[in-house]
Amino acid sequence: VNQILLLLLVLTVCAILYNKVHQVPSALKNETVDLESPEEMEEEIPVVICAAAGRMGAAIAAISSIYSNTEANVLFYIVGLKTTIPHIRKWIENSKLKEIKFKVVEFNPMVLKGKIRQDASRPELLQPLNFVRFYLPLLIQKHEKVIYLDDDIIVQGDIQELYDTKLAPGHAAAFSDDCDLPSTHEMVRSVGMQNTYMGFLDYRKQAIRDLGISPSTCSFNPGVIVANMTEWKHQRITKQLEKWMQRNVEENLYSSTLGGGVATSPMLIVFHGKYSTINPMWHIRHLGWSPDTRYSEHFLQEAKLLHWNGRYKPWDYPSVHTDIWENWFIPDPSGKFKLTRPDS
């Protein structure tokens, strides 16, 4: 009897082991599916755009162009002031953009108190939303990599390409060099656009000379930024920018009478020699610097991103290449925002 019981016990143990062994492939298969599923999920591309009073149509056109030219999983962070947020939200929800993924973020201008020097020559450059790019980690919490875009842009390429821009180790951001594209040099010369540090910083001031930066150093344009949030926070970039804003209030180290760079100048200082570069075709600039000077149609068709930086905006008059911009503009359902045209 004992031998029979022992034999049954051995058979039972063998049966249990057999089942476990043959279940392993199935379990591994399930684990493999679970492990692969996050990789199969489409990566979210966060794009930050400001919606300022009086120029919300710019943000709408920019968003429309991005959304229409990509299959990527884009999440728009639309930053506004408390008074403007309801307007932009209704505009999106009552237009063909209602399908986009977006979050509306309120920017508190009190963070700028005591950090902006009043300048009557270009008051529009002192608008609070011009400084949103300084505070990206405070506005965007969960993303490692973020794209920031000025509102006066149109994207003609796939935003995934811009997002895939490689940032070198230790670099918190990538920008476009102002000397990077020979095709734009004629435009720069003809409209008097600055493309060196001399055009943005006052080299008569000792604090600027003490930086040891040659005035002929090529500048960059922070209207298009690909940023690494981990490096940004690690290097305390926001604190560094605020330091130079406060020093400018006290010492007038830069002003809008130079390169129009009250938001550009502190970034030129903080990021000097510590940034990666964006493909030049992903930031074709200066379209707003003259109401007369135009790029060739072929060159514009090849461009991935167009930027109307300067005084002459495509929703106002006069401006150049407004037909390209209007292709992406969506009229305001409330009728508050209207284009300025010669016959209007």
Please check whether residue 342 lies inside any domain of the structure: no
Please check whether residue 19 lies inside any domain of the structure: no
pLDDT of residue 103 exceeding 70: yes
pTM of the predicted structure, to 2 decimals: 0.85
Among 123-137, 178-192, 221-235, 254-268, the least confident range:
178-192
Please check whether residue 263 lies inside any domain of the structure: no
Portion of the chain with pLDDT greater than 90, in percent: 69
Residue 141 — very low, low, confident or very high, per pLDDT cuts 50/70/90?
Answer: confident
Portion of the chain with pLDDT greater than 70, in percent: 80
Over residues 79-89, the mean pLDDT reads 96
Please check whether residue 341 lies inside any domain of the structure: no
In whole angstroms, what is the distance from residue 9 CA to residue 312 CA?
89
In whole angstroms, what is the distance from residue 231 CA to residue 234 CA?
5
In whole angstroms, what is the distance from residue 248 CA to residue 123 CA?
16
pLDDT at 24: 37
In whole angstroms, what is the distance from residue 164 CA to residue 6 CA?
66
In whole angstroms, what is the distance from residue 194 CA to residue 182 CA?
15
Please check whether residue 80 lies inside any domain of the structure: yes
Question: DSSP letters of 26-85?
Answer: HHHHHHHHHHHHHHHSPPEEEEEEE--TT-HHHHHHHHHHHHHT--SEEEEEEEE-TTTH
In whole angstroms, what is the distance from residue 187 CA to residue 323 CA?
19
Question: For the chain, what is the domain count?
Answer: 1
Q: Are 212 and 318 in contact (CB under 8 A)?
A: no
pLDDT at 40: 44
pLDDT of residue 283 exceeding 50: yes
Among 14-28, 75-89, 198-212, 281-295, the least confident range:
14-28
pLDDT of residue 338 exceeding 70: yes
Among 2-11, 262-271, 282-291, the least confident range:
2-11
Please check whether residue 344 lies inside any domain of the structure: no
Per the DSSP assignment, residues forming a β-bridge with 227 are 146, 173
Which tokens in the block code for residue 100?
Answer: 């986009």
Over residues 143-172, the mean pLDDT reads 98
Among 8-17, 35-44, 191-200, the least confident range:
35-44
Host domain of residue 70: 45-178+219-249+271-327
In Å, how far are 203, 205, 244, 274 from 211, measured between CA atoms? 10, 11, 12, 14
For 181-220, how does the pLDDT look when each residue is reduced to its tens digit (9 = 90+)?
Answer: 665 656 555 555 678 898 889 999 999 999 999 999 999 9
For 17-28, how does the pLDDT look when each residue is reduced to its tens digit (9 = 90+)?
Answer: 555 444 433 332
Residue 39 — very low, low, confident or very high, per pLDDT cuts 50/70/90?
Answer: very low
In whole angstroms, what is the distance from residue 201 CA to residue 250 CA?
15
Please work out, in degrees rounded to the nearest 5, the angle formed at the alpha carbon of residue 277 by the alpha carbons of 276 and 280: 175
Over the Cα atoms of the chain, what is R_g?
26
Please check whether residue 191 lies inside any domain of the structure: no
Question: Which one, of 168, 270, 170, lies nearest residue 220 by Cα?
Answer: 270
CATH number at residue 133: 3.90.550.10
Among 3-17, 92-106, 321-335, the least confident range:
3-17
Please check whether residue 335 lies inside any domain of the structure: no
In whole angstroms, what is the distance from residue 96 CA to residue 105 CA?
21
pLDDT of residue 89 exceeding 90: yes
Question: Which one, of 122, 256, 245, 260, lies nearest residue 178 by Cα?
Answer: 260
pLDDT at 261: 63
pLDDT at 137: 96
